[in-house]
Structures are given as C-alpha cells and as structure tokens.
Amino acid sequence: MKKLMNRLNQGWLAFKEFYRLKVSVIFEKIGHALTHNFVVRKQGLTLVLFSFLKIKITRRRREAFYGYMFTLLWIFGYLIFTLYPMFYSLYLSFNEAYYSLETGVATTFIGFTNYLNIFRSQTLLPLFATYIGKMVISVPLIVVFSIMIAVLINNPIKLKGLWRTIFFLPVVISTGPIITELNNQNATSIPSLQDSSLILFISENLGPWIANPVEAILTSMLLILWYAGIPILIFLAGLQKVDGAIYEAASIDGASPWDRFWKITLPSIQPLISVSVIYIVVTMSLFVESGGILDLARSHMLVGAPDSNFWFGYGFAAAIAWVYFILMVIIMGIFILILRARREK
C-alpha cells in the first residue's frame, strides 16, 4: 500500500515537473502571442489590428460582438444549408442536371425548358390545380373550425385540459405513413357525409371541376380537421387575453352571446387569423403524400434511368419544388391580403 502511494506520489511529482517545464511554457507563449502579435492586440480598451487599425472597445461594440458570436451558428447554417442550396437549386432549375459518380453534377443550360415541361406535363398540371383548389377550400374551413373549437373550449366548462389534449393529439401522431394508411382504410371521412347525395348533386349540376375538390375534401374531412390542432391553441391563447370586463360591460348593455361573439370575440382574435393561415398553409403544403407533387419531385431526382423519356433529373425536380414554393407563397399572400382588406374596412 505504501509502495503504491509512493509510486503515485512520484508520478504526480513527475507530472507537475513536466507541466511546469513543458506545458505551461507553451501556454505562456500563446498568451504572449495573443497580446504581442501583429494581427490583433489589446491595449487597454482599444483593439489594435495590424498595428495601425485601432478599434475602440465600446459597450455597444462588445454587445454586437457577443450577439454575432451567439448567432454565428445560425448564420453559418443559413449560408451553408439554406441560402446556398436555394440559389443552387434555382440555378439547377434552368439546367439539365444529372449526377454521375465521376464528374459530380453535370449541367447543361436549357433556359426555361424545365418550367415549360411542368406546364406541359399531363400528370403534374392537374396535381397543381387540385393543390390550389384544396388550399382555397380547406384553409378557410380549418380557420372557421378552429375558431369554433377555441371559443367552445374557452367557455367555463369542466375538464378544460382534457378537451385541449384531445384536439392537440393529431399534431403528435400524424405522420406520413399513418395518414396514408388511414386514407387507404377509408377511416378519414365522416361516414354519413361521404355517402350523402350532396356530392352526386354537385357533380351532376355543377360539373367535375368543382365536384372533384369538394369530394376530395369530404372524403378526407377528418384529415383536414386534424390540421386544426395548433391553430386551436393559437386562438385559445388569444381568447384568454381578452379582458373579461369588456364582456361584462356588453352584457349589462344588453348584448346577447351572439352579438358578443361578433362584436368582441372575433375582432380581438382577428390578428391571429393571419398567423394561423400561414401555419396551416405551410403544414398542409409540406405534408408529403405518395403520388403528390413533392413525392414526384423526389422520384424525378432519385429513381429512374437517365435515358428514359419520363425522367428529367435534378433540374426538373428543382423546378417543381420552386414552382410549388412560389405557388404556396402566392396563396398565403392572397389570404393575408384578403384578411387585411377586411380589417381596414
């Protein structure tokens, strides 16, 4: 035991000596270099760059420095994984691009051909049309539904937490494969709605152009309502911030609950409608269904042979994604413009 302690002690002493003679010298040198180098040096409260550029360290500048330090992670990430890829895919969308092992991505400039090909495509164009139709019908539907639910839950009722839990559940469990499976099993429609003669009536009298989106929405009614999870919470949070005294004053003046909803509740949560519209449009658009536009973009990128007539490679995939993105932004913009126009009136 004693021997071991002795050995350990000797080892520790040797390490100390080593540290004093070798390691700390290096640290000293680094420290010396930091204060005495040519590139950057600190003299009191001034930072000297290349020994002639003098920067005074003010509180403001220090704050800016730390601000950049903390956000540097994001700035780098944005440049590498978002900004550069955005421009690169924009560039690719004007090219015919294939990947080969030897040369990497081989591109040949073809102008707007990729975009024209989208508008010529027999499979893609109808998909874009149904996408727009679906957005136009289902986004207002979700907004109305989520306001309704939020107002209902906001009443003084029992088990408030339970209701919120139920209506938020889809956010947690909805994922691509499961929704596809539910769709296959016909579990996404309210049975009585689907079998109603409404669809038949519409398609007979108004034609398929409106009947198809309506039917698509009725048969996947539940899925559409599943998107309301987060908007419900947004509206609920907004409703809880409305001052109760306003309601009291209104009811003393003889306003019915109906009046109170239209005159007090709705105006006070109106600013939140645009937020939820953005959220709904984004989540609905980014959901990848098999056979949908995004899925096609992927298959154009990955699967298929370069010699096939139906495969256009990376450039075409990038063009699809860009058209989709621009459409999405346009739809969002139109909704927000309508909402703003209503508010100004």
Partner 1 sequence: MKIFKDPHLKTKIRKFMFGMNFVDGFIYKFIIMTLLISFSYIYLYPVLFMTVNSLMSVDDLINPGVKWIPTSLEIENYRRAIQVLELPGSVLTTTTYVLKVSISVTLSSAIIGYGFARFRFPLKNVLFVLMLATFILPSQVTMVANMVIFKNLSLMSTQKAMIYPAILGQGVNAAIYILIFYQFFKTIPTVLMESAEVDGASQFKIFTNIAVPLAIPSFLIVFLFSFVWYWNETFITSLYVGSRITLPLKLQAFRASYETLFPPGTFGSELNEAIMLAGNMLTILPLLVLYFVAQRYFVESIDRTGITGE
Interactions with partner 1, residue window 240-279 (CB under 8 A): 241, 251, 256-257, 271-272, 275, 278
Most distant CA pair in the chain: distance in Å? 102
Residue number, 181 or 195, with CB nearest to partner 1: 181
Residue number, 49 or 282, with CB nearest to partner 1: 282
Contact call for residue 294 and partner 1 (CB under 8 A): yes
Residue number, 105 or 210, with CB nearest to partner 1: 105
Residue number, 63 or 243, with CB nearest to partner 1: 63
Residue 123 backbone phi and psi in degrees, to 5: -95, -35
Question: How much of the chain is helix, strand and coil, in % rounded to 5?
Answer: 75, 5, 20
CB under 8 Å to 49, separation ≥6 — which residues?
39, 40, 41, 55
**Length of the chain, please?**
345
Interacting residue with partner 1 among 94, 131, 238, 284 (CB under 8 A): 238
**DSSP β-bridge partners for residue 98:** 106
Binding part of the chain for partner 1, among 3-11, 21-29, 117-125, 315-323 by CB under 8 A, reads 315-323
CB of 195 to partner 1, least distance (A): 14
Helix (H) or strand (E) segment spanning residue 42: strand 40-43
- 3-class secondary structure per residue, 46-112: EEEECCCEEEECCHHHHHHHHHHHHHHHHHHHHHHHHHHHHHHHHHHCCEEEEEECCCEEEEEECCC
In the region spanning residues 137 to 156, those forming contacts with partner 1, defined by CB under 8 A, are 148-149, 152-153, 155-156
CB of 175 to partner 1, least distance (A): 4
Residue number, 203 or 268, with CB nearest to partner 1: 268
- Residues touching partner 1: how many (CB under 8 A)? 98
Residue written as tokens 């309210």? 190
Residue number, 13 or 249, with CB nearest to partner 1: 249
Residue number, 77 or 207, with CB nearest to partner 1: 77
Binding part of the chain for partner 1, among 2-10, 29-37, 136-144, 164-172 by CB under 8 A, reads 164-172
Contact call for residue 170 and partner 1 (CB under 8 A): yes
CB of 129 to partner 1, least distance (A): 19
Q: What is the CA radius of gyration of the chain?
A: 31
Q: How far is the C-alpha of 223 from the C-alpha of 238, rounded, in Å? A: 25
Contact call for residue 108 and partner 1 (CB under 8 A): no
CB under 8 Å to 261, separation ≥6 — which residues?
151
Long-range contacts of 193-197 (CB under 8 A, 24+ apart): 193/218, 193/221, 194/218, 194/219
Binding part of the chain for partner 1, among 1-9, 45-53, 208-216, 294-302 by CB under 8 A, reads 294-302
What distance, in Å, lies between the first and last C-alpha atoms of the chain?
91
Contact call for residue 31 and partner 1 (CB under 8 A): no
Instruction: Tell how many helices (H) and how many strands (E) occur in the chain.
Output: 18, 5
Contact call for residue 49 and partner 1 (CB under 8 A): no
What would the x/- binding string for partner 1 be over residues 59 to 98, using CB under 8 A? -x--xxxxxxxxx-xxxxxx-xxx-xxx-xx--x----x-
Burial 289-325 (b: 16+ CB within 10 A, else e): eeebbbebbeebbeeeeeeeeeebbbbbbbbbbbbbe
Contact call for residue 121 and partner 1 (CB under 8 A): no
In the region spanning residues 190 to 219, those forming contacts with partner 1, defined by CB under 8 A, are 190
Residue number, 51 or 165, with CB nearest to partner 1: 165
Whether 328 contacts 285, CB under 8 Å: yes
CB of 49 to partner 1, least distance (A): 18
Interacting residue with partner 1 among 163, 246, 264, 336 (CB under 8 A): 163
Contact call for residue 328 and partner 1 (CB under 8 A): yes
